[in-house]
Structure 1
Amino acid sequence: MIARFQMLRTDYRQYPTYPHGKIIHIALGFIAAGLGAVAVPALLNKEYTAVTFLTLAAQQFRDVRKMERETLMKIDETELVPRGSAYIEGIAMVFEGRNYLVILTALVTTLCTVLFAWYWGVTAGVLALLLNAMLKSGKNLKSIVDVQPAEIRIDGPGLYVDNIYIMNIGLEDTRDKMRKHGMGFILTPSNKDGRISIANLGQRQAILHNLSAILGIYRDSGEPSLLPMAKLDLEDGRLAVFFLAPQVHLEQALQILQHVPLLEYAVRLPRKAERKGRSG
């Protein structure tokens, strides 16, 4: 249960909701902890039918993933800047995987307690908690790109971030809003893997959503001209991010961009494929 509490938090995404969303996941964590703890004495007593409960639990936790996906999809319909399907699938997968980490923690703790002594069980539990702390956070965007603020330039009807074209703006009033509330950033990939990852549309949508979730967004429904955008330079792989916030905070926006989670579904590793091809 300590492991599940350690991995459960409501952050800027406001998910899981507090307190009811947390109660659901704490209850599931209790079930997972009980399954992991009971499995060891059951197997030692040759009660092999008890293993079937683990397979049932796996099915239940897959259903948890489905439930989270459907819930987040519904919530996404009300967002001014949606998370996107790739971001949602990543969150749902995390909720499923953390229940398995709880089972593993209970399994290791109980095994060491039964086979050796209670203090070895405590030691194993503490080590499992440390492992959970390492696994609960993935990589951030700063591990694959260099993020720098960039000049927003309006040339006639064209909006540019640095030299990357973003969109066409027809109304002078919209241009004034963009000059006042707009922020521009250039994300330069550090290698070929990073270039392909930030080209992923799901990763770009996650960038825009995190900015809007923390800084707020200067737009309302029915205003497509104020939509934040992330456009790719096809020549060198740089990504230009244009965003409108109620108040311009460049330093805070830089921190947010650097800590956007790197989505598992957006990760590509062409360099590894090249190395394997050469060694073959």
Structure 2
Amino acid sequence: MSSLETTMILMTIPLIAKDFSITFVEASTLLAFYVVIEVLLPIPSSLLAERIGAKRTMKIGTTIMGLSSLPIVLSNSFTLILALRIVQGVGASMVLLTSLSYASLIGSDEERGKMIGLNHTIVSLGYVLGLPLGGLIAEIDWKYLFLLTSALSFSSLYLLSTLKEMHAKSGLGINVIYASLIFDGIILGLYYYPFFVLSILGLIMTIWKIKLGKGFYLSSLSGFLHSIIRNMIAAFFVFYLYSLHLSTLEIGSLDYFILFLLRLSHFMQVDFTINIS
């Protein structure tokens, strides 16, 4: 649900910019601010899940996403839509990684591996299928993608009600959130330079408060670069294909093929690394 919407809205940024008479950069804040909040708050969400349970946390996050999506369909204010997108990011932060945590608590080691693999597959499908689906919806009205998110959210609430509650102790402290500030500051700094201060502050606080080791920083940087380059490539082709006056469905389908190749190369790289190891 979260990864699907993140990719679908990429298809609509040029349309949103046109409807509100703003630049592509201003319109892209609808994606950037959502991602920033989604990245910043999983640690507090995981600490909340320790207290009230993973299932209840996912239900709260899903409800937030569903309720904040509906007003976007009816709104004609870009500022209000941006505020609602931030609220959506809060809900997504409570769902995306908590679902992975829940999968890691299920059954035996073999079953747990299958559930984690299934979780990753579904998230990846959301990123890939969001492009053609977003293009199809944009052909009708770009606001309808939020109607789809709301429908998926409330459907998910029913499915979540069938799960057993799970509790686990992660061992994470709130100080780990400082590492997220490093990457969030970089993203926000691209829009407004003073936000780079957040990255510096996050780096200082991370070094001062917690000892995560060199491997953590390298793997985090690798994941960040992989994600941002993949999305930059997808965004570039969306905007470029729009300049050729293709339909949104054609653009979404072509971009889907490009992202599919990127995901395929990623899985081949992971498989190669595992075999070498």
Q: Which has the higher contact order (CA 8 A, sep 6+)?
A: 2
**Which structure has the greater CA radius of gyration?**
1
TM-score by length of 2: 0.26
Name the TM-score, length of structure 1 as normaliser. Answer: 0.25
Report which of the two has the higher share of helix: 2
Larger strand proportion of the pair: 1
